[in-house]
Amino acid sequence: MKLLDETKKYHEKVMTEPLLIQLPKITDPRGNLSFFQNNNQIPFEIARTYWIYDVPGGEARGSHAFKEQKEFIIALSGSFDVVLNDGEKEIKFTLNRSYYGLYVPPMYWRSLENFSTNSLALIVSDKNFDSNDYIRDFQIFKNRKGCIQ
């Protein structure tokens, strides 16, 4: 019982931190294949998929946080940076392989930037689109995180 509690605690902790996840890669002379599916590879059940493409040079997407939704972000093609801020410190993840994805927990300020030409960002989320789940003001985000001003 104690072990189960410890394991649960470990998973809860992991779920609250960003995580770069390596996906299966089935190499084949005909071309490689990678995948993820519900209840495996990524730490949530998928409700929605969207993608960002045709990003003009120098543009950034995002710059907001989600109160509840979790995301998994993959550079299906090309490369870009995912910049995450927990209210106190910033971490930058460069995504440039289609068999790696970044798990982004709720309540991280996140921005996608430095897109290469023809890059394609695939994003899966555990929630349907809900504009009320967005925090678009960094100061409000920091206050909600309980950061000392």
Question: Which sequence positions are flagged as catalytic?
Answer: 64
Whole-number Å distance between alpha carbons of 15 and 69: 12
Q: Which is nearer to ligand TYD, 10 or 50 (CB)?
A: 50
Stretch that binds ligand TYD, among 17-25, 58-66, 100-108, 137-145 (CB under 6 A): 58-66
Q: Which is nearer to ligand TYD, 62 or 87 (CB)?
A: 62
* CA distances from residue 23 to 65, 73, 74, 119, 120 in whole angstroms, order as listed: 25, 12, 10, 19, 17
E strand intervals along the chain: 19-22, 25-26, 33-34, 48-52, 61-66, 71-77, 80-85, 90-95, 100-104, 109-113, 120-125, 134-135
Q: Is 53 in the site for ligand TYD (CB under 6 A)?
A: no
Q: How many residues bind ligand TYD (CB under 6 A)?
A: 6
Nearest distance from C-beta of residue 53 to ligand TYD, angstroms:
12
Question: 60: exposed, middle or buried (C-beta count within 10 Å: 0-12, 13-18, 19+)?
Answer: middle
Tell which one of 10, 35, 50, 53 touches ligand TYD (CB under 6 A).
50
Q: Which is nearer to ligand TYD, 34 or 125 (CB)?
A: 125
Stretch that binds ligand TYD, among 15-23, 61-69, 81-89, 95-103 (CB under 6 A): 61-69
